[in-house]
Amino acid sequence: MREDKAALQQLLQKDAIPESLWTAFQAAEKQLEAEIVDVVTEANSFHPAWGTIIFASANEILMNEKLKAPLLTMQATRAEAEQKYGSKVPQSSNTLTVKSPISPSITPSPSVNGDLELPKTGSISKASGLKHSIYPV
């Protein structure tokens, strides 16, 4: 609405839109602000800090759904193709695999409080292929 407001104001100044449209826009803007206040108030009623993060969380959920939709479409298309043609694509060609660390010295270990931390002893071995310096040798 913020982006539309500037454009609508310019159109109003040039008499390109009627005053009633501007009034309706302002009413919609006030209604949206009231709804935002209601959402924040309700979120704070569940937990005091939720009002500050509710919209960020909602945006994160929305982005996750947007990323998930094409994957679900691809899975459905793949299932249709397998049903139609009767062949399966090898599992290794369409899935990502997480490889285990090369050197056990860089494997994180659990700490006392449950967070992961790097081991206190050992270093990155030369066998792992990782360089100790950011500068070329």
Q: Phi/psi at 130 (nearest 5 deg)?
A: -90, 135
Residue bearing tokens 């002893």: 121
Instruction: List beta partners, residue 116.
Output: 110
Across 1-27, average pLDDT: 91
Instruction: Report pLDDT for 33.
Output: 95
Q: Please, which residues have CB within 8 angstroms of residue 32's CB and are 6 or more apart in sequence?
A: 1
pLDDT digits (tens, 9 = 90+) for 92-116: 555 554 454 454 444 444 444 444 4
pLDDT at 14 over 60: yes
Domain assignments of the chain as residue spans, ordered by start: 1-46, 52-87
Q: Please, which residues have CB within 8 angstroms of residue 111's CB and are 6 or more apart in sequence?
A: 117
**Bigger pLDDT: 119 vs 26:** 26
Alpha helices for the chain (secondary structure H): 2-13, 19-46, 50-85
pLDDT digits (tens, 9 = 90+) for 31-89: 999 999 999 999 999 999 999 999 999 999 999 999 999 999 999 999 999 988 987 65
